[in-house]
A and B are shown apart, each in its own frame.
Chain A
């Protein structure tokens, strides 16, 4: 197989949705680190710090995760659900359509 000889089977092996789900999961970890909704379980520093590159990397991950969850939301827009499960992969036909 070469780049000029693509095969349909590659689309079925694609784990693109898996990447998106992984990023969305990392974004949720970032929210957990910040103590969103569970501030009593996350210890807080009394010393105020500046947000540096490391914090901005975490924010970047959180932003990507939100964008991905919005994608999942928009796909389910007709059915109004406050927290759609992002773990459920779409049908294989969707994956294949994206790859083409």
Chain B
């Protein structure tokens, strides 16, 4: 088996992964909401950008988690410097950061948080997809009453 064949196999695996992600999105409409009515111009661009970011995270959980962990580690290092500490204090006190956090959590569905084996998809990612796919059709209004406040 030569390198070209191996790379061809990798490309085929990537195609299968994309198709699987498409299937999951189609089977779970909540992951692929319809664009807002009469959305055009900037609003439609932002909507597509946000959906693209969600797909990038949900479709590449191990890579996204790796990048997330790298940025967190660099951020912690930077926060130990005088400039970094000053910026951290500004970010922590900013309402704009809170708004951005809300956008990010809605977008990523928090799948990058929590435990994860090295170089592997986070547990929260598998849990989310299992919930989205297996839980499809359940009456969530009943489950919602059983769910303690604050739990996803």
Contacts and interface: CB of A to CB of B under 8 A. Distances in A.
Question: Which of B3, B70, B75, B100 lies at the interface centre, i.e. has the most chain A CB atoms within 10 A of its CB?
Answer: B75
A42 B95 contact: yes
Contact of B100 (A33, A43, A56, A63): A33
Interface of B: 3-4, 7, 68, 70-79, 83-84, 87-88, 90-98, 100-101, 104, 113
A71 to B, nearest CB: 16
Interface of A: 2-4, 30-31, 33-36, 42-45, 48-51, 53-64, 66
A43 B79 contact: no
Given A30-B87, A36-B87, A60 B93 contact: no
Contacts of A55: 75, 88, 91-92, 97
10 contacts: A35-B96, A42-B94, A43-B96, A45-B93, A49-B93, A51-B92, A55-B97, A57-B68, A59-B91, A64-B74
Contacts of A31: 87
A34 B95 CA distance: 9
A54 B3 CA distance: 40
Contact of B95 (A36, A45, A51, A64): A45
B73 A35 contact: no
A76 to B, nearest CB: 21
Contacts of A53: 68, 72, 113
